[in-house]
Structure 1
Amino acid sequence: MAPSSSTRGEDVYQRIKVDLVSGEFWPGSKLPFAMLTERYGSSASVIREGLSRLVEQGLVRSEPQLGYRVAPVSIRDLKDLTMARCAVETQALRLSLQHGDLAWESSVVAAIHALERTPVGTQPASADPWPLVHRRFHEALLEGCPSQRLINTALGLRDAAELYRRWSVPADDNGNRDLNHEHRAIADAAINRDAEAACRLLEEHLNLTARLLVERGLQEGFLDESELVETA
């Protein structure tokens, strides 16, 4: 039986998204329909639908008369994104600790167990399992939150941040931090229902990631050093 149009659309959307966050397309680069239809073996309408969904997530930009392009990266945007993530994720986490049940606790325990046993950056970006396991851990933390809209907002901001992380993978494993320790501390505080500690640790985790991403972005040349003065 041939796959339905909705199934094909979802498959194309997921493939484009994976390629975006794995760094297959340079930030700010154009996404011409001719290239995309050939690359993904799909119609322009299916491609357009997938790109529209990615625009909503902040991974792609739509420009009138010019088409679509990969979302550009900048220090200003990263700071704004990190501020938004800190506000939204900590609120969702706080509610998750208040409302999460035993099944939620078990999910967090399983997620941190898997994360601690998955090495960072040992495989090419497109095949690296760590980002998915990492995302699963942060999702698990929030799943006790009774507001699905708040969870969806938090995960959407996380998707937008993935562009930065993928273009600066060494920042997560450059000897300046112990990711397992950071994640374990957040998980322990969450399981112990210590909302103040859990939210503080999560915010520190997000801000440290942003600072290291700026350092790596300046080294690799995809962030503009002049922005440091503008955003100070």
Structure 2
Amino acid sequence: MIETTLNDAPRSQTSLAYEAIRNDIIAGVHLPGKKLKIQDLAEELKVATGAVREALSRLVPEQWVISRDQRGFSVAPLSMEDLRDLTDLRCEIEAIALRRSVAHGDVDWEVRILAAAHRLRAMPQPEPQLRDGVSIADWVTRHAEFHAALVSACDSRRLLALHGQLYEQSERYRILSAFGEGKRDVADEHQKIADYALARDADNLVATMTEHIRLTTELIIAAN
């Protein structure tokens, strides 16, 4: 829960509301299709209704929220067709970002990958039947840090922003599927990805990452 004071500037409240609503959509707190009532959100987040309205408007072009005339705002729906389209685009962007990182990465980049891989490996992936909000949130954070570290040497700010947006949209599908990813050794997949990155083997890195992403999509589709 985000708390603000009455002295917060409107822009600051808008940013707080934006982050809170967006994070709750990614985490599945606000489910697909849910109507987002401005007054209720303002009371929950302790911000002005105008800040919530502006935050929701910012989330529309990013495809987290949809707006319909006379019907207000609601959480963007999910579909398997959209997931396939998202996966195809993500794989293409991931390949470009990874190749640029391999080309421009230095020792600091390698350290970031090693550290992120170690932190992720030290935290077992949550099982659907043992689902716990805190442990899932922690694992999701470590997982995001690992994928971000891999492309962190990419020399394009816009490409990194697009990469991050596509990653978060993909996470929304995976989280709402309760990590139902079947029988796979995710830790081993992550280790192979890290090894290829550190070996500067761009071809195998891209191929392994693509397989990793597409397998997740296939398992999500199979579970729905």
Name which of 191, 198, 219 aligns with 1:212.
219
Please say which of residues 177-186 and 12-21 is displaced more in the overlay: 12-21
Structure 1 residue runs of 5 or longer lacking an equivalent are 219-232
Matching residue's letter, 2:192: A
1:65 is paired with a residue whose SS is coil
C-alpha separation in 2, matches of 1:85 and 1:61 = 22
What residue number does 2:71 align with? 66
Contact 1:22 1:125 in 2 (8 A): no
2:73 is paired with a residue whose SS is strand
Q: Deviations over 1:175-227 (max 9, x none)?
A: x11111111111110111100000001110110010111122x2xxxxxxxxx
User: In the TM superposition, what is the alpha-carbon distance from 1:123 to its structure 2 partner?
Assistant: 5.6
Give structure 1 regions of 4+ aligned residues with deviation exceeding 4 angstroms: none
The aligned length equals 215
Matching residue's letter, 1:84: L
In structure 2, relative to structure 1, the CA distance for the partners of 1:163 and 1:111 (3 Å cut) is: same
Q: Deviations over 1:9-54 (max 9, x none)?
A: 3222222122112211221221121221222122122112222332
What residue number does 1:222 align with? none
Give TM-score, length-normalised by structure 2.
Answer: 0.89
Structure 2 residue runs of 5 or longer lacking an equivalent are none
In structure 2, relative to structure 1, the CA distance for the partners of 1:138 and 1:123 (3 Å cut) is: same
What residue number does 2:152 align with? 143
Give TM-score, length-normalised by structure 1.
Answer: 0.86
C-alpha separation in 2, matches of 1:145 and 1:20 = 28
What residue number does 2:57 align with? 52
Name which of 178, 182, 187 aligns with 1:180.
187
C-alpha separation in 2, matches of 1:205 and 1:38 = 41
Q: How does 1:1-232 map to 2 (within 5 A)?
A: 2-121=7-126, 124-125=132-133, 128-172=137-181, 174=182, 176-216=183-223, 218=224
Q: Deviations over 1:134-170 (max 9, x none)?
A: 0011111111100110110011111111221111123
Matching residue's letter, 2:210: E
User: In the TM superposition, what is the alpha-carbon distance from 1:126 to its structure 2 partner?
Assistant: 5.6
Please say which of residues 127-136 and 47-56 is displaced more in the overlay: 47-56
Please say which of residues 117-126 and 26-35 is displaced more in the overlay: 117-126
The sequence identity of aligned pairs, in percent, is 36
C-alpha separation in 1, matches of 2:45 and 2:134 = 16
